[in-house]
Structure 1
Amino acid sequence: MSRPSARQEHPEATGGSGPTAGDRILTLPNVISLVRLLGVPLFLYLLLVAHADVAALVVLAIGGTTDWVDGWVARRMRQVSRLGELLDPFADRLYILATLLGFTARGVVPWQFTAALLARELLLLASLGVLRRHGYGPPPVHYVGKTATFLLLAAFPILLLAAAVPDTAAVAGAIGWGLAWWGLVFYWVAGALYVVQARRLVLAVRARGASA
């Protein structure tokens, strides 16, 4: 007998009731997510190669502000898909990773801040590896994680503005770092919640194995 999926065994792991994810690939939300992904190499080129900080700022701001658009369109148009559920958080993480690496290389953020965020990603990757060994896919994105992503994607353009336009450094720097530090805190809180959820699923598998 095949193992029931995490969605079947643990309805709470689906992230609540809503449009059921399908197998559709070519949908408007997925196209939006793919366009966001294409903005990542463009942003890195503008920031690190062309040193066109204003243009990089525009690309980064568009990528950050459209973070919620694909999800909203998917729910509004009933085009929720499994690919979209995976693509959206992947695009968010890629934007955050690329921005951190680019900002660190340019001296916009200190390496300690980048290391703190990357350490959380390593923790999440380890948890996903454990889940996969027990037959589960990645857990749904938690609202705390969404909040952290929103704060970070809002902070990055403001920090770049502070670095690119010295006259705005005092105000933009304060706002940007305020959002960034809160984003870092929520990012780690979300990571801890994912670890707890993964632990519960693994314990449930072991309990079934022990009672079999």
Structure 2
Amino acid sequence: MTSSNGPSAAAFPGGHPGDPVPGVHGSPPVTDRETLPDRIWTWPNAISVLRLLGVPLFLWLLLVPEADGWAVVVLMISGVTDWLDGKLARWLDQSSRLGALLDPAADRLYIVSTLIALSLREIVPVWVVALLVGREFVLGGMLLILRHYGYPPLQVHYLGKAATLLLLYAFPGLLLADGDSWFATVIEPFAWAFTIWGTVLYVLAGLFYVIQVAGIVRAERAARTTT
């Protein structure tokens, strides 16, 4: 049976929520966010909020004045603070439920908003936008399934974090490569390498998430048939 407070023991081998999810060989532990402290006023949360406030500024810089240099600065600061808020949460022991939601939300907002802007300016091809935005819609469906079974969102896979970092550094490269200077010529292959690898890992992390959710659903259905 599921619990309104998070994963039930039946969904994990040995009955512990910290164990790997069935169906994902070598998968990382699934952390129940509901077990984290219910804190709001922390340094990591403040940094995450600042990252979220940077999203509209970033879009405005890209689409209105097309100030690509300043947009790149905002995006790079977002990448650095993405690393910093996680480190601070561990160093200061300030992990929280709110922080566990804000951090991936900021990552996704930056990626989706960047894709929209770069697509409108015809810098990024449609297939990249379709893959990354489609992945977000699929994960949104997985979250609805988890909520139906009484589960919180699963822990972000390390591949997802790696992909996010690659994309957050790939997009500034694509902006800087959008020109005729010698620097644009030099940086273009590196920017596209980061974009392709980031896209592949981002989609792969999404696939692992789907597999984890499928394992939970199977375990829950099996538990219900035995009760």
Query: What TM-score results when the alignment is normalised by the length of structure 2?
Result: 0.86
Q: Which residue of 2 aligns with 1:11?
A: 18
Match of 2:67 among 52, 55, 60: 52
Q: CA deviation at 1:167?
A: 2.7
1:12 maps to amino acid = D
* 8 Å Cα contact 1:53/1:164 also seen in 2: no
Identity %: 49
1:36-94 deviation digits (Å, cap 9, x = unpaired)? 11111001111101221111111111112221111011001100001101110000000
Q: Which residue of 2 aligns with 1:204?
A: 219
Q: Which residue of 2 aligns with 1:195?
A: 210
1:153, 1:93 → 2: CA distance?
10
Gaps of 5+ in 1: none
1:21, 1:5 → 2: CA distance?
11
Gaps of 5+ in 2: 10-15, 21-28
Q: Which residue of 2 aligns with 1:146?
A: 161
Alignment of 1:96-175 (within 5 A): 96-163=111-178, 166-175=181-190
Q: Which residue of 2 aligns with 1:64?
A: 79
* 8 Å Cα contact 1:23/1:81 also seen in 2: yes
1:113-154 deviation digits (Å, cap 9, x = unpaired)? 111111111111111111111111111001111111111111
Q: CA deviation at 1:166?
A: 3.1
Higher relative helix content: 1
Q: Which residue of 1 aligns with 2:12?
A: none
1:164, 1:34 → 2: CA distance?
33
DSSP 3-state at the match of 1:11: coil
Query: What TM-score results when the alignment is normalised by the length of structure 1?
Result: 0.92
1:125 maps to amino acid = G
In angstroms, what is the RMSD of aligned CA positions? 2.0
1:86 paired with 2:101, answer yes
